[in-house]
Amino acid sequence: QVQLVQSGAEVKKPGASMKVSCQASGYTFTHYFMHWVRQAPGQGLEWMGWINPHSGGTNYAQNFEGRVTMTRDTSISTVYMELTRLKSDDTAVYFCAREGRGPLIEGAFDIWGQGTMVIVSP
Amino acid sequence: EVVMTQSPATLSVSPGERITLSCRASQSISNNLAWYQQKPGQAPRLLIYGASTRATGIPARFSGSGSGTEFTLTISSLQSEDFAVYYCHQYSNWPRFGGGTKVEI
């Protein structure tokens, strides 16, 4: 079945970097854009950006420009999201989410990873 | 930047009730709107896209309507498994989510 499996929880110090992976299975990896969305504890959803797994092209939300890098490894159907210069308010669950393809659904996120908890603490 | 506003923030209801959740966009987004359901400790699940099309496997009691700036999600007869937080999401340009509506008993 179609699924996205993310890497495990992490604890980081302020100023450090984090890198979360998201491995896709059950579909053609390069045919669907992948997005990253985060959710701080008890808060709503915040879009971070997308990567085109076919070309490697990216587009980042302004809030994260300069701190985030999204990459992919097509040989293992995996995308990565790296966030640098971590602060305490980067503590959140980070989700990868596949963008749908087809009429009307293009732009919506039809498949989500299980989430990766990242805690930033001294 | 399109701002999405959901109301109410919290809705206290009973099983079997019909409920309507609202989502307003700060400018027209045509029908580029999705709704998601999120339960504690889980990832969001796509319910509705294109403002009114149910995603695969979503029960018929969920329906979406609207276009432009005003959108609604209706649950015709609330089941126990429907108690959750619901988010709207515009994808007309830079993706943006609403703040969510918590549906509680």
The pLDDT of residue A103 is 85
Min Cα–Cα distance to chain A from B84, Å? 13
Q: Does B102 touch chain A (CB under 8 A)?
A: no
The pLDDT of residue A79 is 98
The pLDDT of residue B77 is 94
Q: Does A49 touch chain B (CB under 8 A)?
A: no
Tokens for A82, please give them: 């790296």
The pLDDT of residue B105 is 82
Q: Does A95 touch chain B (CB under 8 A)?
A: yes
Chain A 7-46, CB below 8 Å of chain B: which residues?
Answer: 35, 37, 44-46
The pLDDT of residue B78 is 95
Task: Give the closest residue to B97 by CA, choosing from B89, B38, A102, A42.
Answer: B89
The pLDDT of residue B93 is 87
Contact A48, A59 (CB under 8 A): no
Which residues of chain A fall below pLDDT 50? none
Determine which of A45, A50, A60, A105 to mutate to test the interface with B (most B C-beta atoms within 10 Å): A45
> Tokens 């969001």 label which residue?
B44
Exposure string over B9-44, b if 16+ CB within 10 A, otherwise e: eebeeeeeeebebbbbbeeebebbbbbbbbeeeebb
Min Cα–Cα distance to chain A from B50, Å? 5
CA–CA gap between residue A33 and residue A54 (Å, rounded): 8
Where does residue A105 fall: left (phi above 0), alpha (psi -120 to 50 degrees), or beta otherwise? alpha
Q: Chain A residue with minimal CA distance to B6? A: A44
Q: Does B50 touch chain A (CB under 8 A)?
A: yes
The pLDDT of residue A122 is 93
Q: Count of A–B CB contacts within 8 Å?
A: 61
Contact A82, A36 (CB under 8 A): no
Of A47, A113, A115, the CB nearest to B97: A47
CA–CA gap between residue B4 and residue B26 (Å, rounded): 6
CA–CA gap between residue A53 and residue A116 (Å, rounded): 20
Which residues of chain B fall below pLDDT 50? none
The pLDDT of residue B3 is 96
Q: Chain B residue with minimal CA distance to A6? A: B43
Tokens for B62, please give them: 């969920």
CA–CA gap between residue B56 and residue A45 (Å, rounded): 22
Strands A34-39 and A46-51: antiparallel
- In three-state secondary structure terms, A87 is coil
**Burial class for A10, CB neighbours closer than 10 Å (0-12, 13-18, 19+):** middle
